[in-house]
Each structure stands twice: as C-alpha cells, then as structure tokens.
Structure 1
Amino acid sequence: MWETEMSQFVNSVWAGILSAGSEIGTQLVSILPGVIAAIIILVVGWLVAVIIGKIVKKGLEKIKLDMALKERGLEKALGKASLTNLLATLSKWYVFVIFLNQAAQLIALTALQAFLQEVLFYLPALFGAALVVIVGLLAGEYLKNSIKEMQVPYYDFFGSFTKFIVFYVSLVI
C-alpha cells in the first residue's frame, strides 16, 4: 500500500515536471521567432545608425564646421568637444533607439517599449534645447572676443560678463 502511494506520488510529480517542461518548451518556441527578429532588427539598426552617424560626420566635416568655429576663436566655447563629433554621435544614438524600440515591441517588452517611446518623444526637444545652449555658448564666445578686440576699458570683464549673460539667456530659453 505504501509503495502504491509512493508510486502514484512519483508519477504525479513526474507528470507535473513533464507538463511544466512542455509548457516552457511551447512558450520558448512561440517567442523564439520574435527574439530572432529582434536581434536582426538590433543588428540592422546598429549598422544603419553607424552609417547615419558617419554621413552626418562627413557632411559636417565637408562644410568644415569645426574649422569655422576655430577660425572665429569659438572652439573654446565648447571646451575640448568637437561639435561635429557631438552631432554625429547624437544622430547615431537617436537612430539606434528607434530600432531598439521596434525590437522591444517585437518581443513584447512593454515596459521597455513605453520607456523608449517616451525617450523618442523627448529627445527632439532635448536636442533642440542643447542646440540653443550650444548657439548661446558660441554667441557668447563671439561677443566676448568682439569686445576684447574693441579694447574698451575693462574689456576682459565686460567680455566675460556678456558671455555669461548670453549663456544664461540660452539656458533659460
């Protein structure tokens, strides 16, 4: 009698394990195409993003943006950062996030997809704000250099003060 109960228990446990394994296998098979498609989208997205980044960089190098800033003495406005590299990198990552959002949608990662959707919605506004600040930095540096060239009394103070005011206004905008 004890052996019969033990045998039924073992059979019951074994049936549960087989059922769970079968369910896991079925779910893996059902999501596998989505995962493979998501990986393909991510790889293609990365390649497209890198190409877009290089195109933006080549275009900005062709118009000699960094050289134009340097000729006008504005390279110090951005520290040691290259505006060309900055814009190319931002372009590359924006394109990749678009593909990442699509990959998250394919494998039903709704929380990640919702987050990425918000990021994609917010990034253009952030890029616009960054552009306003960059233009403010460049304009402030230009005005500072112009005031220094005029050699008015206290030109260093007034130049720096003007740069600060222009930068502050660009931040407020």
Structure 2
Amino acid sequence: MRSQAQPLIETALQVQVPGFLQETIANIIAFIPAIIGAVIILLIGWILGRILGGITTRVLEKIGLSDHTRQTPLGSETDPDGGIASAVGTLVSYIVYFYAALAAADVLGIAILSESLSEIGAFLPVLFSAAIILIIGFIVGRKLGDIIADIVGGFRLTTYVQGTPLEGITTSAGGIGNATGKLVEYAVYFFTLLTAADTLGITALSQLLNDFAAFVPALIGGLLVLVVGVFVADALEDIVASVDASRLTTLAGLGVKLFVYYITITIALDTIGFSTAVLTTFFTAAVTALFGALGVALALAIAIGVGWGSKDYVAENIDDWMASARRSVSGLNEESSTRANSGLGEDTHTRSRDDFDSSDPTND
C-alpha cells in the first residue's frame, strides 16, 4: 500500500508548489553566501575604519595639529575631543566605511548601488585633498599673520594714529601690527578657500571667489589711500593750528582736516569701486549752503554793527548837523537876496542913463 501511495503524494506536492516559487527559494539559497560575505566585509571595514581613524587622530595629536589650528576657523578652544585631529581621524574612518560598503555592494552584485557608490568614491580623494589644502593653508595663514604682526608692530605705528578715526579701529584690533597681521592672515585664508574650491571643481563657488579676488587689490588700495589721507589730514591740521595760538587758526586747522578727510574718503571709495556722486553732490550743497550762510551772517553783522555803533554818534552830532544845515540855508537865502538887490540897482541905473542920453539934444 505504501509503495503505491508515495508516488501519488510526490505528484501532488509537485502540483501544489509552483515552479517560480521553487526558483525563488533556490536563488535565495544561492544568494546567502553573498550576503554573508557582504556582512563580513562591512564588519571588517568598520573595524579597520575605527582602527585607522584612531591611529590618524593620535598621530595628528602627537605632531600638534590641533594646537596649530586652535586659533584658526578650523580650531576650537573648547573642543574636548582633540579639535581638527579628531575631525581628520573621523574623516578617515568614514572613508574606510565607504569603501567597505562599495566592496559589499560589488559582492552582492547590485549594479545600481555599485555604480552610485563608485561615482561617490571617485570624488572622495578630491574631497580629502581639499581638506588637506584647507588645513595647510589655514596653518600657514595663522603663522604668517603672526610674523607680519610682529614685524609691523616693531615700527610702533600705533602712536601715529592717536587722535584720528583709525585709533578706535586699531585699538580694538590690538594695534596696527595686529590689524595688519589679521589682514594678511585672512587674505591667506581666502586664497586657500579659492584653491580648495578649484580642487573640488565647484564652478559657482570658484567663480564667486574669483570675482572677489579681483576686488581685493582695489580694496587694499582704498584702505591704503584712507590711511595715508588720515595721516596727511592730521599733519596739515597741526601745521595750520601751530601758526599762532588763536581760536581762528584752531578752527581753520579743523576745517582743513575735515576737508582732507572728505577728499580721502571720496578717493578711497572711488578706488574701491563705489560711486561717489552722492558724496560729491552732498559736499557741493554743503559748501554752497555754508558760504551762503556766512555771506548772509556777514551782511547782517555789518548792518547791525554799523547801525548799532552809529546810533550814539548820530545822537551826539545831530544838533550840530542841523545847525550847520540851517546856517547853510540862511547863507544861501542872504546870498540870493544880495544878488537880487544888486541886480535891481544896476537895472535902475541903466534906465536913468538911457533917459538922460535921450533928453540931451547934442546926442543927435
């Protein structure tokens, strides 16, 4: 009985289990070694990443990388994990993790995942190179800034800006030497960023930084004009004010300084590339209004001074002036009467003589 029933059972099972399901189960069974291999690769990659990242962090800490970058944008005064050294070690760990994932994807035979990870993997060396450029550039910028600060600070230029608008700026920056060192330091930072952007191949960022780089010489020129103009303005104020100790020369010196400040600011802004039409218009209007106001004030002062000062003089001499006027009028009247009387006598005498001549027969 059993021997006859067994073929029937096997036939029924073959009918009940479809062929595609059998194929799926077979594929899964065949895929298990690949899955196990991928898991093993990921585990090994994770272990290697942790080891290599830790080694990298310790090596960089030994050479003092965190100390060199502590006062740069890459450093941190309060980072308990080692600063930039820890960051680089973490980056190395994740790079190893990534390549382990890429190898696992190849073992699994997932084409889309392998292609995507391969494209990203081709970019990782570039990213690592950009990170190295940033670290080296920022360290060089910090060291070069300190050197320039020491050199410029040795000239003791801070004393020359006392009493000028630059005093507050340089004081807050720690003096002209430190301010110059900071400018050099950040200039190196900028060109480091420009180089890193070119390395990464980010076109938009590279174009933006290149445009700003073209603007830097004009900016430096404008700042130099501003500094020189401030020195010249203060020197001219001292020269004008030292002519004498009067308040007028002090005000004249202040006016000269303000005028030179205006010229300096206008030239500096024009050198940088800003439009100075507004400043020119404002200056013209201010000068016109100033001299107009001075002219009106001078005219009023003269009129008030003459009127107020001549009041007493007129009051004291008005009687004499009126008496003199009366005498002049009386004299004119007397002279007119005399002339009239003398004219009447001469006319009578002439008429009498004519009558006499006409009555004399010998005249015929």
Give TM-score, length-normalised by structure 2.
Answer: 0.39
Which structure 2 residues correspond to residues 120-135 of structure 1 after superposition, within 5 A?
120-135=213-228
Retained in 1: the 8 A contact 2:197–2:206? yes
- Among 80, 86, 97, the residue aligned to 2:168: 80
Counterpart in the other structure of 1:38:
130
Aligned length: 154
SS at match of 2:169: coil
* Distance across 2 between alignment mates of 1:19 and 1:125: 53
Could you tell me how far 1:97 is from its partner in structure 2?
Answer: 0.9
* Distance across 2 between alignment mates of 1:23 and 1:163: 70
CA deviations 1:84-106 (Å, max 9, x no partner) are 22221111111111111110011
Structure 1's consecutive aligned runs of 4 or more residues displaced over 4 angstroms after TM superposition are: none
CA deviations 1:33-68 (Å, max 9, x no partner) are 11111111011111111111111111111222223x
Per the alignment, do residues 19 and 162 of structure 1 end up closer, same or farther by CA in structure 2, a change over 3 Å counting? farther
Q: Which amino acid aligns with 1:79?
A: E
Could you tell me how far 1:75 is from its partner in structure 2?
Answer: 1.7
Aligned-residue identity in percent: 25
Counterpart in the other structure of 2:265:
171
Per the alignment, do residues 122 and 88 of structure 1 end up closer, same or farther by CA in structure 2, a change over 3 Å counting? same
* Distance across 1 between alignment mates of 2:123 and 2:135: 19
Which structure 2 residues correspond to residues 132-147 of structure 1 after superposition, within 5 A?
132-147=225-240
Counterpart in the other structure of 1:110:
203
Counterpart in the other structure of 2:253:
159
CA deviations 1:128-172 (Å, max 9, x no partner) are 111101111121122223333332442332222111111111222
Q: Which amino acid aligns with 2:265?
A: L
Which structure 2 residues correspond to residues 21-100 of structure 1 after superposition, within 5 A?
21-67=113-159, 69=160, 74-77=161-164, 78-82=166-170, 83-100=176-193
Q: More displaced, 40-49 or 76-85? A: 76-85
Could you tell me how far 1:19 is from its partner in structure 2?
Answer: 4.9
Structure 2's unaligned 5+ residue stretches are 1-19, 25-109, 171-175, 268-364
Q: Which amino acid aligns with 2:228?
A: V
Give TM-score, length-normalised by structure 1.
Answer: 0.79
Per the alignment, do residues 163 and 21 of structure 1 end up closer, same or farther by CA in structure 2, a change over 3 Å counting? farther
* Distance across 1 between alignment mates of 2:115 and 2:250: 75
Q: Which amino acid aligns with 1:133?
A: L
Task: Return the structure number with greater relative CO, CA threshold 8 A, min gap 6.
Answer: 1
Looking at CA atoms only, which structure, 1 or 2, has the larger radius of gyration?
A: 2
Per the alignment, do residues 142 and 30 of structure 1 end up closer, same or farther by CA in structure 2, a change over 3 Å counting? same
* Distance across 1 between alignment mates of 2:199 and 2:167: 41
CA deviations 1:100-137 (Å, max 9, x no partner) are 11100111111111111111121011111111011111
